[in-house]
């Protein structure tokens, strides 16, 4: 409820029985409402795929087997023998490490790993 001049008001007559008569008076009120609005800003990193990594859709058993089959865990050692074979909605490492600078710092709230290797389509 407010008293802002720019808000349209509502007027109504309120009557109370004060025996044996009715006692009436006018009520004037102004109400405004706030509509909850959530705005989510996304960076272009979500769609940027500079190495054209194969995206295998949403996470499911079949896609997970394609990406992690043969013991692939994203490890960058051993000439990419353990690199993920593409990405999906859960294993989503498509931003190049060179995009980031500075020291790699982590916390217990992080859900992602540090540098991870992923094979491109070639």
- What does each of the 122 residues of the chain score in pLDDT, given as a tens digit? 888 888 888 899 999 988 888 999 999 999 888 788 898 888 888 888 999 999 998 888 888 899 999 999 999 888 889 999 999 988 888 888 888 777 766 666 666 667 889 999 88
Would you list the domain boundaries of the chain? 47-98
Reported pTM: 0.58
The pLDDT value given to residue 6: 87
The pLDDT value given to residue 85: 94
Tokens 């044996």 correspond to 20
Tokens of residue 101, six digits: 């600078």
- Which candidate, 42, 56, 65, places its Cα nearest to that of 93? 56
């Amino acid at each position: 409820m407010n008293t802002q001049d720019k808000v349209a008001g509502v007027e109504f007559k309120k009557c109370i029985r004060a025996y044996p008569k009715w006692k009436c008076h006018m009520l004037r009120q102004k109400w405004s409402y706030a509509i909850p609005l959530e705005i989510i800003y996304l960076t272009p990193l979500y769609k940027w795929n500079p190495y054209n990594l194969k995206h295998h859709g949403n996470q499911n058993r079949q896609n997970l087997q394609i990406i992690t089959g043969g013991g692939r865990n994203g490890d960058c050692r051993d000439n990419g023998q353990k690199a993920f074979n593409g990405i999906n909605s859960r294993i989503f490492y498509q931003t190049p490490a060179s995009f980031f600078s500075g020291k790699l710092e982590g916390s217990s709230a992080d859900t992602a790993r540090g540098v991870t290797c992923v094979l491109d389509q070639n």
